[in-house]
Amino acid sequence: MTVILVALGAALGAPLRYLVDRAVQARHGSAFPWGTFAVNVAGSLMLGVLIGGAASHAVPGSLVALLGTGLCGALTTYSTFGYETVRLFEDGARRYALINAGVSVGAGLGAAFAGVALAHAIWG
């Protein structure tokens, strides 16, 4: 049953990632990959809330499988983040590449910690 929940979550997360990425990127004329940044930070926050809720025994494991592993796993994308960072560097946008690497990792970790703290504030 867990495999089915993960697959269902991923079936929602992958198209959601594509749609959000395209919508966000269309609003910015910058070479910076705002769409990937947005989905990665949002997914990190959501995963933090889910894990924090699970640690407080308020979120069941089935919901963590569906939304955490499935949805967040497909919504967020380390491979695209890596590819876009390398591409920025190769295209001569080295400053954007360094900013993307640093800010994406920092914001993702910060969002995950904020999500855990939020979950503890709600259910802790």
Which residues are annotated as part of the binding site? 73, 76
For the record, the structure tokens of 87 come out as 């591409």
> What does the angle CA 106 – CA 109 – CA 112 come to, to the nearest 5 degrees?
145
Residue numbers belonging to the annotated binding site for Na(+): 73, 76
Signed CA dihedral, 26, 28, 32, 37: sign only: negative
Note the Cα 18 to chain centre separation in Å.
12
